[in-house]
Structure 1
Amino acid sequence: MSVWYIASLNFQDLTIFGPRILWRHVARLTGAKTARVAMSKIGTVELRPRESDISTFRDIFGSRDYAAYCYDSVKERLQAAYNTILKDGKTPVLVDAGANIGAASLWFRQKFPQLAIVAIEPDPDNIALLRSNLAGKKDVYILDAAIGATPGYAELARSRLSWATQTARASSGTEIITVEDAVARVPKGRLLVAKIDIEGFESDLFSSNTNWIDAAAMLIIEPHDWLLPHERTSSSFQKEMGARQFDIFVAGENIIYVRRDPAST
């Protein structure tokens, strides 16, 4: 990367997160594995200076990956569904599947303060930072697990980059839970949003047992056909979502589905 490109990224970080974000560079220089940095309007988070952690926060809080939320119609529909759940005496739930180190969970908690978060992450290195970054937050449930269509177990194919850990069904290993299992962790919980970034295992998640989709006001899915060419990992969710009444928005690496009638959730 050129010096100018690095400088532009640091300027962008200063604009989004404030000056203390540059503290992560001290950890890089000293060889520390992680750095605790105070981000403007977010709070203190723990990052790995040599990992993709800052890029994840930059994409989400810089309004690239979740840019569809900037449309008034999307805001209105999601807010209406959120308000309806609260009015019914229930707790709106975010299922953050592939939670990584918690950036998406923190973003949604800013938008919806009474949202319960079920953060699901199978990678043990990510889980440690996820717990740190969501510590002390109310109504947060962190599950060291994978998510799929049916319960079972998965083996992990870990990568040099934390975001790229992949899962495959196995006879033992990391527990696989369902979306229904995740929502059931929250007393009086009702699904509002499912954010799904599970490195190709979406092919399993949407292969069966998909009635939970009908409860959601929004799904945010990162497809991985680019990562796993010819494996058609997006085919199952394309089929399921195409049969339902959702509008589609594209933001960054994500396909965002928003229910047309929020009152139907």
Structure 2
Amino acid sequence: MRVKKLLRTIRAQLALRTRLRRVRKALLLIVKYPHSSGLRESITYWRWSRAPVSRRMLDHNGKKLICRFGPDQSDVVVWVEVFDNRDNDCVDLETASWIIDAGANVGYTALWFAEHYPSSRIIAVEPDAENFEILCLNVAHEPKILPVRAAITPRGAPRQLVVGEAEGTPPCALQTVGVDSLDGDINESNVVDAIDIASLMTQYGIDHLDLLKMDIEGGERAVFDDCADWIDNVDAMIVEIHDRFVPGCSDSFARATSDFAIRDIGPEGSYRVYVRRESPSLVGCAADDHAGQHGVPEHPSVSMSRNPAEPSSSMLGRVHAAIGLRTRIRRARRRYRSLVDLVASGRRHFSRITALKHLVWTLRRPSVHRIDAEGLSVLARFGTNRSDVYVWHEIFTDGEYEVVDLVDPQWILDLGANVGYSAVWFAKRYPKAHIIAVEPDAANYEILLANITEEPRIHPIRAAVASAGAPRQRISAEHVAWGGAALRTMPVDEGYEDAEGADFMGIVDSIDVATLLDQFGIERLDLLKIDVEGAERDIFGSSEPWIGRVDAVVAELHDRFAPGCEEAFVRATADFEIQHAYGKGGTIRYVRRESPSLTA
């Protein structure tokens, strides 16, 4: 009875939060559209946003500009940020001759600069074809704005493929990937030339750049890592930092601008930072009058605290608290839903009392308990932001790997073994198989060792699987919507050995699949299971030396973390027989060859 009452309470809270979220969403959508248009027009814009995608003409200072409305369209949000909330007002140039707008989107920012600096020329760089088409139409009446379709990259980068960002990020977040890292057929309409800042300045005969505006969805890390040949010729920069897409952006930006004076930041939550030098083209004022935070490390002699005497007057700044509340409610709703699922799944394996214990442990401080079910006894960490019990249910309750149809396999390679549940499941299902369980994280690996002590056929290895020749890997925790964290690995860059912060989880050696197979003397691998939070893009992108030795693959693809994972997987397994695509959104793929170890 207690469990049923608890479930009823949770469901009632979910229903109430759903209704509140719908009302709040409607109000926020109306509020965030141009307040100068009036309530009736704002409601019209909100209705357009719910209708199929369409292009509408909006008026700005007597000029008609194209704005797209519809699901997952962000033009009107960018419009409000630029024209109504004046996110670029922190720029304190008196005059400007040359401005580069890197990541110009549909041209609103370039038009804002043209209005405020009438003697300037603005180079508007945008890689996406549709955005560029609208950009050209919007700036056709402004000869000072020079549109360029290209991707801003470091010097010497190859042509770039424009890809959409992952679920859960802003719909305008378009990233680019070098085409030389991709194999197979590529849609040429999405491929653009790459250009670096120095070459762009040379092309237009710019000796000195007054302002660089950059909003390129994480590409800024590589650009600022390779900026020595142009950074000294730039007076000021306004940059949106995207550590949430590509960790390390703020570090690269801070190193590159160490001799700039930090002047201001955008509204809270915008991750926008403005830096400048002391230059005749700049308004004179003390370097410590303004400040910033948002994850950008402090420069040695520059204060980063925001000036309380200068509060933001933008409308977006005023509604950020409401948007933050909406985000917290959405996360709470997902959290409650996951708890309901946890209790429902638990009742399929455990008594009511045990299922209730799991729920209580999940809501309390982190602790380690043993789960006894399915003839197995394994350790699991419970508590806030702990996902072990959810992973256990995915594998043992939901049967995540039941789709695998091998017969008496000899070798299974488990990449991203977590705490060992998948390896234990494979060992129980296939009593003749040897399982190599590879896990990079130290805490996960410790639990994994405890969970496989009675199974000598599981061979644990602490390493990060990467492409051949990859350097040691940096482990970072990326928080996800349901309250847990996805552990990701990336090559160690200079300075990361001493990195600090909540994200940083340690450094680990890397190993490639071919080396693993050779190390264990494996001629044929019966099954490759891979769940490595986005690293599969590079692994499958360089799979030629070993993919021919693999009979079957079950992989969870993470395009939301690393765009291009699915494309790399499809190319690598082109000669396999696709069996299943399942999981949320079809993110788990199972493919196999026709082999004696497979059922007919």
For the superposition of Structure 1 and Structure 2, which TM-score range results when normalised by the shorter chain?
0.7 to 0.9
**Structure 2 equivalent of residue 167 of structure 1:** 489
For the residue of structure 2 that corresponds to 1:206, the secondary structure is: helix
Give me the whole-angstrom Cα distance separating, in 1, the residues matched to 2:588 and 2:543. 23
Give me the whole-angstrom Cα distance separating, in 1, the residues matched to 2:555 and 2:414. 11
Change beyond 3 A, Cα 1:45–1:39:
farther
One-letter identity of the residue aligned with 1:167 = T
Quick check: 1:233 aligned with 2:565?
yes
Quick check: 1:66 aligned with 2:398?
no
Give me the whole-angstrom Cα distance separating, in 2, the residues matched to 1:264 and 1:10. 38
Change beyond 3 A, Cα 1:8–1:146:
closer
RCO (CA 8 Å, sep 6+): is it higher in 1 or 2?
1
**Structure 2 equivalent of residue 220 of structure 1:** 554
Give me the whole-angstrom Cα distance separating, in 1, the residues matched to 2:544 and 2:382. 35
**Structure 2 equivalent of residue 109 of structure 1:** 427
**Structure 2 equivalent of residue 157 of structure 1:** 476
Aligned length: 244
Give me the whole-angstrom Cα distance separating, in 2, the residues matched to 1:21 and 1:133. 21
Instruction: List alignment gaps of at least 5 residues for structure 2.
Output: 1-6, 12-336, 498-506
**Structure 1 equivalent of residue 407 of structure 2:** 79
Q: How far is 1:223 from its partner?
A: 0.9
Contact 2:468 2:511 in 1 (8 A): yes
Give per-residue Cα distances to partners, 1:96-127, cap 9 Å, x unaligned.
Answer: 11111112111111110121111111112211
One-letter identity of the residue aligned with 2:441 = D
Give per-residue Cα distances to partners, 1:150-188, cap 9 Å, x unaligned.
Answer: 143111222357651111123674211111332344466
Identity %: 22
Q: How far is 1:138 from its partner?
A: 1.1
The equivalences for 1:114-153 within 5 A come to: 114-151=432-469, 152-153=471-472
Give me the whole-angstrom Cα distance separating, in 1, the residues matched to 2:565 and 2:449. 29
Moved more, 157-166 or 128-137: 157-166
Contact 1:46 1:133 in 2 (8 A): no
Q: How far is 1:3 from its partner?
A: 2.2
For the residue of structure 1 that corresponds to 2:367, the secondary structure is: coil
1:11 to 344, 357, 361: 344
For the residue of structure 1 that corresponds to 2:440, the secondary structure is: coil
**Structure 2 equivalent of residue 246 of structure 1:** 577
Give me the whole-angstrom Cα distance separating, in 1, the residues matched to 2:454 and 2:535. 30
2:512 to 170, 178, 181: 178
Change beyond 3 A, Cα 1:225–1:31:
closer
Moved more, 205-214 or 114-123: 205-214
One-letter identity of the residue aligned with 1:114 = K
Give me the whole-angstrom Cα distance separating, in 1, the residues matched to 2:376 and 2:413. 20
Q: How far is 1:233 from its partner?
A: 2.7
Quick check: 1:44 aligned with 2:378?
yes
Instruction: List alignment gaps of at least 5 residues for structure 1.
Output: 70-74, 83-91
Contact 2:427 2:458 in 1 (8 A): no
Give me the whole-angstrom Cα distance separating, in 2, the residues matched to 1:258 and 1:53. 29
Moved more, 97-106 or 26-35: 26-35
Change beyond 3 A, Cα 1:174–1:29:
closer
Quick check: 1:34 aligned with 2:368?
yes
Give per-residue Cα distances to partners, 1:16-41, cap 9 Å, x unaligned.
Answer: 35665654456457635211221232
Give me the whole-angstrom Cα distance separating, in 2, the residues matched to 1:116 and 1:22. 36
One-letter identity of the residue aligned with 1:234 = E
Change beyond 3 A, Cα 1:25–1:132:
farther
Give me the whole-angstrom Cα distance separating, in 2, the residues matched to 1:233 and 1:49. 31
Contact 1:64 1:251 in 2 (8 A): no
For the residue of structure 2 that corresponds to 1:158, the secondary structure is: strand
One-letter identity of the residue aligned with 1:179 = V
Give me the whole-angstrom Cα distance separating, in 2, the residues matched to 1:158 and 1:197. 15
TM-score normalised to the size of structure 1?
0.79
For the residue of structure 2 that corresponds to 1:263, the secondary structure is: coil
Give per-residue Cα distances to partners, 1:189-248, cap 9 Å, x unaligned.
Answer: 7411111111111111112243322222210111111234xx323322221112x13223
Give me the whole-angstrom Cα distance separating, in 2, the residues matched to 1:21 and 1:41. 17
Contact 1:122 1:174 in 2 (8 A): yes
Change beyond 3 A, Cα 1:32–1:148:
closer
Contact 2:543 2:572 in 1 (8 A): no
Query: If you compute each CA radius of gyration, which structure gives the higher value, 1 or 2?
Result: 2
Contact 2:343 2:359 in 1 (8 A): no
**Structure 2 equivalent of residue 191 of structure 1:** 525
The CA RMSD over aligned residues, in Å, is 2.8
